[in-house]
Each structure stands twice: as C-alpha cells, then as structure tokens.
Amino acid sequence: MSTQPQPAPKPAKSRLLQDGRDMFWSIGPLILACIVLAGVLGMCSFQASGPAEGPAPTYDAPGALQADADALKIPIRLPQLPETWQPNSGSRNGIDDGRTDPASGQRLRAVSSTVGYLAPSGMYVSLTQSNAAEEELVASMEADLYPTGVEDVDGVSWVVYGGGDRDGRPGEPLWTTRLDGPTGPAQVAITGAANTDEFRTLAAATQTAAPLPAK
C-alpha cells in the first residue's frame, strides 16, 4: 500500500508580514496585566482636576505659634477660638526694610508669623503677626490696598484696607491694628474671604490674648 506524502509544514509568517491583529494578540495580554496591576496598586486616577474633596488639612496652631514666638522673638498671641474654627495652615515670612530701628533710625528686616483658619462659614481667613510697620506689613500681604475705614472691636480700632486687584476683581479686605504688650508692640492683620462677624471674632480673640512667653 502506497503512502501519501505528508504536506510540508507551513512556513512561519515573516515578521515583516505581521499585521495589526498579530500585534494585538501578542501584546494584548501584557496590556491587560498592566491595567489590572495599576488598578490594584491605585496608580491610575481618572478624576478630573478640581477642588479636592474630603476633610480639610489640620494644623497645630498652638505648637506652631509657640515655635514662632521662640524663633522670631516677637510678640505672638494664640487666639482662643470656638471649636468651629479650624486652623489649617501656617508660615513665616521676612519683610525687607519692614521696620525702623528707633535708636538708630536704620531700616531693618522685619519678620511675620501667619496662621490660616477655616471659619465656621467654611471660608478662609488668616491672622498675621509681625514687628513690621503698618504700611510695610499691609504691602507685603496684598498690593494696591488703601485704607477705607475703621472697625471698633471692643474698644480697639482696626484700620480696614480695601482695593487691590485679583483678575479684575477687588481684593479681599484686610484689617490691621497695633497691639502693645509687656514684650513690646506687634502689628497684626486679618485678611481672607470670611464675613465681617468672623473677622470680628478673630480680632477679639487676638487682642484679648497675652503674648506667648518665648523660650
């Protein structure tokens, strides 16, 4: 009995002749594995950009203000605020030619301490304490502000500044006053998007607080 000759094996397709389907089946499993791994590790995010959701960051205002009093050697007060006020940020800054030496008349560098709060309304407001002169402190915080009036807070006069320009809109109001104390005077300023009652609450809490003892 004669045997049929076996057909020759089909030659492998040249790499030059591989089409898109061949490439898909070659790398498809690898892509799928990468997607699964990225999902497990939380490396992929498909959220659109925008305001971050979730709780606001917390900030140790008592600890930060005590550290500022120790480091800056200027009168720093810790306002006692209701629990509905949440400190969320802070910073130190320098102000070139921000003050004048009363003995020599020389212009010196001033320093400042700032703590930011979320007021009960949910709006941001900050308290800055400095050894700078009023005009220099205000100018370091917001350009093109000018005095627009005075607010009396339990017998203490706060100068109200307004104006400024933020993308064609008026800037946020700024209140400032000079507080005397056993360790010397301090220029303090409040600014932000909080309402007038919240400005008054922060102002009253600041002016009734004694300066922290520096270590």
pLDDT, one tens digit for every residue, the chain (215 residues): 545 555 555 555 444 444 555 544 455 555 555 444 444 333 333 333 233 345 668 899 999 999 999 999 999 999 999 999 999 999 999 999 999 998 999 999 999 999 999 999 999 999 999 999 999 999 999 988 999 999 999 999 999 999 876 566 668 999 999 999 998 999 999 999 999 999 999 999 999 999 999 98
| Cβ within 8 Å of residue 104, ≥6 positions away | none
Q: What pLDDT is attached to residue 143?
A: 86
CA gap 58, 35 in Å, rounded = 35
The residue written with tokens 């949910």 in the block is 122
Helix ranges (H only) for the chain are: 20-41, 61-72, 134-141, 196-207
Helix (H) or strand (E) holding 91: strand 86-100
The residue written with tokens 């998007």 in the block is 193
Q: Give a yes or no: residue 97 inside a domain.
A: yes
- Spell out a b/e string for 13-26, using b for 16 or more CB atoms within 10 Å of the CB, else e: eeeeeeeeeeeeee
Are 119 and 125 in contact, with CB atoms under 8 Å apart?
yes
Q: Give a yes or no: residue 172 inside a domain.
A: yes
Q: What pLDDT is attached to residue 186?
A: 97
Q: Give a yes or no: residue 127 inside a domain.
A: yes
Q: Give a yes or no: residue 116 inside a domain.
A: yes
Q: Give a yes or no: residue 81 inside a domain.
A: yes
Q: Give a yes or no: residue 8 inside a domain.
A: no
Q: Give a yes or no: residue 178 inside a domain.
A: yes
The residue written with tokens 């305001």 in the block is 51
For residues 132, 185, 76 and 126, what is the CA-based torsion angle, rounded to 10 degrees? -50
Q: Which of 90, 91, 66, 86 is nearest to 78 (CA)?
A: 66
Are 64 and 79 in contact, with CB atoms under 8 Å apart?
no
Q: What pLDDT is attached to residue 41?
A: 37
Q: What pLDDT is attached to residue 5?
A: 54
Tell me the two tokens of residue 169.
Answer: 């809109």
Q: Give a yes or no: residue 45 inside a domain.
A: no
Task: Give pLDDT tens digits for 16-70.
Answer: 444 555 544 455 555 555 444 444 333 333 333 233 345 668 899 999 999 999 9
Q: What pLDDT is attached to residue 169?
A: 66
The total number of structural domains in the chain stands at 1
Distance (Å) of CA 190 to CA 11, 56, 115, 140, 213: 82, 20, 10, 13, 22
Q: What pLDDT is attached to residue 164?
A: 72
Range of the domain at 79: 61-207
Q: What pLDDT is attached to residue 16?
A: 41
Q: What pLDDT is attached to residue 61?
A: 97
Q: What pLDDT is attached to residue 56?
A: 66
